[in-house]
Structures are given as C-alpha cells and as structure tokens.
Amino acid sequence: MKKHVEDIAKYSYIQTKLAIERTALSYARTSFAFMAFGLGIFSFFEGPNTYLLSLFFAVVGTIFLIFGVITYIRRTTSLN
C-alpha cells in the first residue's frame, strides 16, 4: 500500500511539472506571435503610425516572454 501512495505522489509531481512547462510554452508562443505580428505590420504596411504600432507589438511580445520565463522559474522553484 505504501508503494501505491509513493507512485501517486510521483505521478502528481510529474503531472504538475508538465503543466508548468506547458504554460511556459504557451507564454512563449503568444509572445512570438505578438512579435511576428509587429514585424508583419512593419514589413507590409506603410503609414505614419506603422512604426509605432509594430514597436508596440514587439514590446508587448517581449513583456509576455519575460513574464513567462519569470513565472516558469518561480513555479519550478516552488515545486521543488
């Protein structure tokens, strides 16, 4: 019976670790999408506010990436 309890604890740790990694990857995916959208606006459109709009999306994407890395590090260290 004790081995069964240890297995459940081990599997719940693995499941939680994978969920944290999946969340970090979704932050990275979202941030790269924002950056790519900003680059696409800068490359394909011309206008007075195009540069500012593309810069906005690049900055938002960078903030998402930094926030995702910080969240991943905090959750991983609190898990151990």
Show the domain range for 52: 2-79
CA distance 37 to 80: 37
Half-sphere exposure of 8 (CA within 13 A, CB side): 5
Structure confidence by residue, pLDDT tens digits, 14-71? 899 999 999 999 999 999 999 999 999 999 988 888 999 999 999 999 999 999 999 9
For the record, the structure tokens of 19 come out as 């969920």
Per-residue pLDDT band at 1 (split at 50, 70, 90): low
For the record, the structure tokens of 5 come out as 């309890």
With CA atoms as reference, report the closest residue to 79 among 16, 26, 9.
16
Count CB atoms within 10 A of the CB of residue 46: 7
Number of domain units in the chain:
1
